[in-house]
A = this chain, B = another copy of it.
Amino acid sequence: MAETGTTTPRERYRAQVQAEIKERAWEQIAAAGASALSLNAIAKQMGMSGPALYRYFAGRDELITELVRDAYRSLADAFRAASAAGGGLTGLAHTLRDWALDDPQRYFLVYGTPVPGYHAPDDVTTIASEIMTALLDACADLPADGPPTPLAAHLEGLGDQWTTGHPAPPAALHRALTCWTRLHGVLSLELAGHFNGMGFDPTLLFTAELDTLTGASAN
């Protein structure tokens, strides 16, 4: 509390306004998706004029980029906490699911439909590799099962490209990739509502997939 650093009152005010802008932006995104985000509406909500927001963000794109950054950081933090708690791959998976269900549009901001021209800034990919590292560590802890796959051979030595210089056995790389794609497959379809009206509980499908990832009995 006392350690606010060497921040001038102006800087503190600026940070506070920026935070409120992002908060309103998240509300709008949760309500109507990222494409419906309107700077004007945010400004009106905050009781100020439209162009005022340009003192805080260069434009709509920069605001969204900042939100994407925050979303990545949020997931990375959740993963770090889960890793520290020692829940293993199961803990990581449930952390991911909870994080996704907590704000579906935030999940889609990270893993959803990309805009063709857009290229994420470097620090975002850095956070993404941090997330991958946590997943890879959890996968490396599991005992190897079955014979080495052809894909694993193809993956040989690629681990330090994904993460920050992090050697891992090819089988762990394969398993991490599989975890990622399978859990994302269930989650994204569930969040998008593609299971609506099918009459089953998506939670069971998620845990079933998780079981194939961690359990000895595969499928």
Q: Which of B113, B151, B189 contacts A33 (CB 8 A)?
A: B113
Task: Flag if A197 contacts B161 (CB, 8 Å).
Answer: yes
B128, B150, B183: the one contacting A185 at CB < 8 Å is B183
A interface, how many residues as a size bin? 35 or more
> Which residues of chain B come closer than 8 Å to A108, judged between CB atoms?
113
A56 within 8 A of B: no
Q: Is the CB of A33 within 8 A of B150?
A: no
Are A217 and B146 closer than 8 Å at their CB atoms?
yes
Q: Are B193 and A114 in contact, with the CB atoms below 8 A?
A: yes
**Does A102 reach chain B (CB closer than 8 Å)?**
no
Shortest CB–CB separation between residue A68 and chain B, in angstroms?
13
Query: Interface majority SS on A: helix, strand, loop or mixed?
Result: helix
A186 contacts the other chain (Cβ, under 8 Å)?
Answer: yes
**In the complex, which of the residues B158, B185, B208 contacts A198, with contact meaning CB atoms closer than 8 Å?**
B158
* Copies of this protein, total: 2
Q: Is the CB of A180 within 8 A of B174?
A: no
- Asked if A32 and B154 sit within 8 Å, CB to CB, the answer is no
Closest beta carbon of chain B to A100's beta carbon, Å: 13
Interface 9-mer from A3-11, A13-21, A199-207: A199-207
Contacts of A33 in B (CB 8 A): 113-116
Chain B residues within an 8 Å CB radius of A145 = 219
- Which interface residue of A145, A185, A189 has the most chain B CB atoms within 10 A? A185
28 A-B residue contacts at CB 8 Å?
A32-B116, A32-B117, A33-B116, A35-B115, A105-B116, A111-B189, A111-B194, A112-B113, A112-B192, A113-B113, A128-B194, A145-B219, A146-B219, A149-B219, A150-B204, A151-B205, A151-B208, A155-B200, A161-B197, A161-B199, A177-B205, A181-B185, A181-B189, A181-B205, A182-B182, A184-B188, A184-B189, A218-B219
Interface residues of A (CB under 8 A from B): 30-36, 105, 108, 111-117, 125, 128, 145-146, 149-151, 154-155, 158, 161-162, 174, 177-178, 180-186, 188-189, 192-194, 197-201, 204-205, 208-209, 212, 217-219
